[in-house]
Amino acid sequence: MTFPADLLTLLLRTSKLAALTGAGVSQESGLRTFRDAQSGLWAQYRPEDLASPEAFARDPKLVWDWYAWRREAVKAVRPNPGHYALVEIEKRVPHFTLITQNVDGLHRMAGSRNVLELHGNIQRVRCSECYAFAETWGDDGESVPRCEICGGLLRPDVVWFGEALPREQLEAAVEAARTCDVFFSIGTSGVVQPAASLAYAARNRGAVVVEVNLEPTPLTPKADFFLQGKSGEILPALVKAVWG
């Protein structure tokens, strides 16, 4: 795999790099992306119809079961070479901020340290009323487990559509986007806001935008470099080409 020489020179010189990742980065670990049709008994649902407070209010058991199913799927997979390449970049670039939309925790599992989880983490469960975290819970398969402290329904600690993103993570992500020399957008269709606006915030401040994605997205025409293909193949090859 070859890369434009000016991209390689730029990355060797970069001291401030930010990367936004989406479900595409976890696809080669075996996790479905949001674009992929859901499988099995979840095939009839669209994620947007389940990942919202309204859906949880309407049918808490259905939403709880969907996340329980996804938690098991996440437990069964491991980071892929794309995750590990980002760990390598963090070691090589003086200031590197990894901003992820993914809730699977695979970046931290791979060894990334400076990770901003914009949409929470599916492995964490909290009370929908008092926000207390639950490490363990009884799941009789009949009803949604309840908070031991206040009796509220437990829920995944993720950001649903219509919910605000965690303030510190979002502010840190915007700051990283505004101050970086190079902004990577990797494995994301760039549809969901406000995460999708980060690449434009970087571009408006003069950052070079590099997109790594299986297919073109609305960002592609605005990116300085578009590396089309699998992140699990492109990222390791890029790390090797730049840093040997």
Instruction: Write out the residues near Zn ion by the rule CB under 5 A.
Output: 127, 129-130, 132, 147, 149-150, 152
Token pair recorded at residue 159: 């950001």
By CB under 6 A, residue 128 contacts ligand BV8: no
The catalytically annotated residue of 83, 95, 107, 119 is 119
161: partner contacted, choices ligand BV8, Zn ion, none (Cβ within 5-8 A by kind): ligand BV8
Q: What angle do CA 118, 209, 218 make, to 5 degrees?
A: 75
Alpha carbon 177 to chain centroid, angstroms: 15
Options 162, 204, 218, 240; binder of ligand BV8; rule CB under 6 A: 162
Asked if residues 183 and 207 have their Cβ atoms less than 8 Å apart, the reply is yes
By CB under 6 A, residue 81 contacts ligand BV8: no
d(CA 209, CA 190): 13
Q: Is 119 a catalytic residue?
A: yes
38: partner contacted, choices ligand BV8, Zn ion, none (Cβ within 5-8 A by kind): none
Q: From 197, 104, 111, 195, select the one nearest 157 (Cα to Cα).
A: 104
Name which of 169 and 231 has its Cβ closer to ligand BV8: 231
For the CB of residue 83, give the shortest distance to Zn ion in the complex, in Å: 33
26: partner contacted, choices ligand BV8, Zn ion, none (Cβ within 5-8 A by kind): none
Q: From 14, 224, 186, 194, select the one nearest 83 (Cα to Cα).
A: 186
Catalytic residue numbers read: 119
